[in-house]
Structure 1
Amino acid sequence: MSAVPAIVLISEDHPDEMRAGFARYVAEYDVRVARSCREALLVTHDVLAEGGTVAMFASESVLPDADVLHCFHKLREKVPTARRVIAAHWDRFVRDAPGLRAGMAKGKYDAFLLMPRGTRDEEFHHAITDLLSDWGSTVPDPEVVAVKIISPVRDGLTLAIRDFLDRMGMPSRVWPPDSDAGRYVLAQWDGEPAYPLVCSVNRQVIHATSVRDVAINIYGTPTEIDLDHVVDVAVVGGGPAGLAAAVYAASEGLSTVILEAEAIGGQAGTSSMIRNYLGFPRGISGMRLAQRARNQALRFGARFYTGQVVDELRPGLDGDPHVLCTDSGEVRARAVVISSGVAYRKLRVDPVEELVGSGVYYGAAMTAAREMEGQDVYVVGGGNSAGQAAVHLARFARSVTILVRRPDLAETMSSYLIGEIRYNPRITVRTCSRVVDGGGDGRLEWLGLEDVRTGERERVPTYGLFLLLGAEPHCDWIPQQIARDDHGFVLTGRDVPRDRWVDDLPPENLATTVPGIFAAGDVRSGSMKRVASASGEGASVVPLVHAFLAPAP
């Protein structure tokens, strides 16, 4: 049985050039060449029959027996997780591009590239390795493992730990206790084993009772900060706004600490593919965008602490530092940026809520998506995050149904995602519908759906429900001195009520009603709830922090 993933090249006119372009991948992939779509389907059948899988299909822009996009459609049905690349010969690249590039926006394939013209065409290989890296993040059992999880069962906690590690860019695998890996970890454990056990590189093996235990074990706690030292700026929340604030603050010499309750990246970190983020023409997953930003901030000296829930913010008076309180310790800062983002709104259907973690998930749940192979699943929500989740789930699930209360998706979802959903045969959209019931024996097995126009109800079988229902702010810990709107979002700038202005002047654009405390991103009232706008606000808040920290003239 072959365990080496395959790359299938499809070319009738230039097979030697294609093979030479992929020569560097032969050592780690099973590179095979087909001369037509029909032959590619046969090669794929052989790979699957041998117990292998296909990581990538790379085809010329013209095939002898089929339109290349139609061929990709057939191949996608065989291997939904494989990345699909058109590598056009330089004689046809300009000619074929206009007719093919529109298909990329609909998700018909992943990249339109120029076939390599030499042995070191690094622009080409940068695109290929990026796509193979994205493919690797969808593999249930990756080759390179940073964290070992030992558990006799794959329960909700084990799944949540893997999801956290996935979002942090740390590949993991789950092994049973009687496996080689299980015995290796148990040999390092002193006492009666309790599961799950988590073993990460250069860290002590722990019995995890929560995701927070794993985060603290790997990334530390605020008590490791010298409590006599006051940092220049503390950022609460590690989503796009907080990450941008951290990068710009640390790069300008401010001592910067970031406290994140869950995984770095926030809600955006769960997006399987963001295709409209500036500068990434092939798209980028939320996890990779977050990890690149985190590494960038670390390079400038910022310090990150995950698994840290801020329970209280005590504003400083008369020049005293602000104090952020967590279970693990306190952080004192001259300035604070609130970028704690939002949480998905609860469904509030009690039988369904009882199954959260057992077939019911809030957010995209990257790890849970891999568990849906061959199953029928439902996604509730009409925003971009719901659309991205549906597209990602369609790589694994037999069918994905998007449920929305509205009559269509056009009001709430980007056009490029709607086009991608329409093209994908595994995804259907069920409008004017809502979930009113659900149940199962220990895990989700069925849902009760209601037509909001007629009140008619239907019971449908399902294996997974993914809830992406809109935003509620993370603001319970914010003191009353900071003004908020009727929905709980933080007010800044001219949105602050006039009776809270000082000397009849509003606060600065991203400043709150407490001097030295700022807000950026989704938690701020009036924000656009988009990754790019949150990043922009995070960068824009740093000059305001600088101005506040500057000594008075």
Structure 2
Amino acid sequence: MATTLPGPAPSIVLCAQEHLDTLRDSFARYEREYDLRTARTASEAEQVAREVVRDGGTVALFVSDSRLPDSHVLAAFHRWRQVVPTARRLIASHWEYFLPDAADLRAGMAKGKYDGYLLMPRGVRDEEFHHAVSELLSDWSSTSANPEVVSVKIVSDDAHGLVLEIRDFLDRMGMPNRVYHPDSDVGRALHEQAGPPAEGEPGYPLVMALNRLPVRPRSVREVAAGIYGAPSEVTLERTVDLCVVGGGPAGLAASVYGASEGLSTVLVEAEAIGGQAGTSSMIRNYLGFPRGISGMRLAQRARNQALRFGTEFFTGCQVERLEPGVGGAPHRLHTSGGELAARAVVIASGVAYRKLRVEPLEHLVGRGVFYGAAMTAAREMEGQDVFVVGGGNSAGQAAVHLARFARSVTIVVRRRGLEETMSSYLIGEIAYNPRITVRPCTEVTDGGGAAHLEWLALTDSRDGSVEQVPAYGLFLLLGAAPHCDWLPESLARDPGGFVLTGRDVPQQCWLDGLPPANLATTVPGVFAVGDIRAGSMKRVAAAAGEGASVVPLVHSYLT
């Protein structure tokens, strides 16, 4: 798992016949940090990309005019993708062709054939154009195994499961990180700073975050505490207006709108900010982001927005019990390191992926078997055969992301297809990608390996046949199980454990014959939003909308 220092600068390949000089001038500002390569035909660009890879480099971005002399531009992208699957792809159409070619080309973007359609700059300082280019390069950099800017250094002598968990947490928090071998210069320097391990303390991994002293964590939460503060710091001497439990899209929206409306707001998150949405490699149908946005970037932008309005964040802190206030008294939240008192509580703790319940595979979790998208693990799948179990959007996004690295990606679903559970744009993107196949009416029933996953048994529900296949990675996105163990019995839930709100609350719990407000629960002053709420849509935009909508209800309750 250890990585080395970066090699050649990543390349940007520009391809155009008539307007190559214009395109080259437009990218002059990137020349200091990227290796700019040019080509006049699709074949020539393919050869350039192969030369870059042969020399130990990689291509970060392909940029093409909308018209090429020897190939349709989408066919060219397809060929280039075979050479460098991780590169981002951009059409910069000359102004003579931009409108005539748009109708034919834009549909291809929805299917993932390329990442952006822009007008070629007509002069200097076309910042709208360069903003889009920077976003694509930033997106590429976030999936690079060797980031240039490193916030967290990790020293490890082996592929510890804990190292993968730590890196996944850091990636979701938007903190670039790299693993170094103990014998490297960085490894020896950090070991010297940390000193010998104490009795009973593991030697590795060794983690240094934001130039603080290196530590030897036993869990991800210890890493989070080292960066964001220990759980014992959670206890506040005052009573806050609003405590939001959960840092997914719903909780982040509630904290942004709550703090911006003048409520003293605290957000408590047990894991990484962003929730399950934070693991999505690319959300293409979120309003206002025509080129899409990764779940991590969306979450971090929302977090920064909430911080600007005054929200206090406690990351890596588990809420263990909610004690409702009586007679207008504040609610008390008992966390893993202290207590919080709040006049109103918004439950946005989301859901967890259901277990596969195949015992041999449970023993391989973290060693080829992963619950969730596990974006960090995707980089470890290069050239391997990978399987994704699940039929929702999260599974589709995971498959598309994994296809940038893996030799093959197989989506395993129990239904007859993806149409009932997945968005149309993702189905189209999956159908277009030659590395992804779908196995309907199929379940994973067995698997194994020595130190790492090696094989799976796939059972066809139509005829009961079983096929054993080689597998290096298994990503399980099996639907939702709510996080509700910490909630009081007085808070009504449906048979699946999801929190009931509004008119879904049983009539015997209504007050004066009236149901609670739309997002209110059976406990006055406690509200539920997002995936944990019974009947929620299970979409990022819907969760963010509920998080924003709950704030007026909180205001009404507090007054």
Q: CA RMSD in A?
A: 1.0
Count of residues paired in the alignment:
550
1:38-187 alignment, distance < 5 Å:
38-187=43-192
1:6·1:55 contact (CA, 8 Å) conserved in 2?
A: yes
Shift of 1:190: 3.3
Q: Secondary structure at 1:188's aligned position in 2?
A: helix
Q: Secondary structure at 2:334's aligned position in 1?
A: strand
Q: Secondary structure at 1:283's aligned position in 2?
A: coil
Unaligned runs of 5+ in 2: 1-5
Q: 2:235 aligned with 1:198, yes or no?
A: no
Deviations 1:500-522 (A, max 9, x none): 01111111100011111000000
CA distance in 2, matches of 1:210, 1:98: 51
Q: 2:443 aligned with 1:434, yes or no?
A: yes
Shift of 1:326: 1.4
Deviations 1:205-251 (A, max 9, x none): 21110111111111114533563211111100000000000000111
CA distance in 2, matches of 1:202, 1:524: 41
Is the alpha carbon distance of 1:233 and 1:222 closer, same or farther for their aligned partners in structure 2, counting shifts above 3 Å?
Answer: farther
Partner of 2:38: 33
CA distance in 2, matches of 1:141, 1:315: 48
The letter for the 2-side match of 1:323 is: R
Unaligned runs of 5+ in 1: none
**TM score, norm. by length of structure 2:** 0.97
Partner of 1:240: 249
2:235·2:340 contact (CA, 8 Å) conserved in 1?
A: no
2:91·2:116 contact (CA, 8 Å) conserved in 1?
A: yes
Larger displacement relative to structure 2 (42-51 or 377-386): 42-51
1:528-539 alignment, distance < 5 Å:
528-539=537-548
1:2·1:50 contact (CA, 8 Å) conserved in 2?
A: no
2:269·2:318 contact (CA, 8 Å) conserved in 1?
A: yes
Q: Secondary structure at 1:311's aligned position in 2?
A: strand
Deviations 1:256-294 (A, max 9, x none): 111111110000000010000000000000000000000
Match of 2:360 among 351, 355, 364: 351
Deviations 1:407-426 (A, max 9, x none): 11100011100000000000
Q: 2:327 aligned with 1:322, yes or no?
A: no
Deviations 1:520-540 (A, max 9, x none): 000000100000000000000
Q: 2:217 aligned with 1:208, yes or no?
A: yes
The letter for the 2-side match of 1:21 is: S
**TM score, norm. by length of structure 1:** 0.98
1:222·1:331 contact (CA, 8 Å) conserved in 2?
A: no
Shift of 1:191: 3.0
Partner of 2:396: 387
CA distance in 2, matches of 1:98, 1:295: 37
Q: Secondary structure at 1:126's aligned position in 2?
A: helix
Shift of 1:304: 1.1
Deviations 1:8-39 (A, max 9, x none): 00011011100011111000000011000011
CA distance in 1, matches of 2:50, 2:495: 58
1:168-317 alignment, distance < 5 Å:
168-192=173-197, 194-225=203-234, 227-317=236-326
The letter for the 2-side match of 1:454 is: D
Q: Secondary structure at 1:412's aligned position in 2?
A: coil
Q: 2:402 aligned with 1:397, yes or no?
A: no
Deviations 1:296-326 (A, max 9, x none): 0011111111111111111111122111111
The letter for the 2-side match of 1:26 is: E
CA distance in 1, matches of 2:112, 2:236: 50
Partner of 1:499: 508
CA distance in 2, matches of 1:223, 1:542: 28
1:223·1:330 contact (CA, 8 Å) conserved in 2?
A: no
CA distance in 2, matches of 1:540, 1:222: 30
Q: Percent identity?
A: 69
The letter for the 2-side match of 1:317 is: V
Partner of 1:360: 369
Match of 1:541 among 525, 550, 554: 550
1:270·1:287 contact (CA, 8 Å) conserved in 2?
A: yes
1:221·1:329 contact (CA, 8 Å) conserved in 2?
A: no
Shift of 1:204: 3.2
Deviations 1:65-117 (A, max 9, x none): 01100000000000000000000000110010000000000100000000011
2:318·2:336 contact (CA, 8 Å) conserved in 1?
A: yes
CA distance in 2, matches of 1:542, 1:419: 37
Match of 2:419 among 410, 415, 436: 410
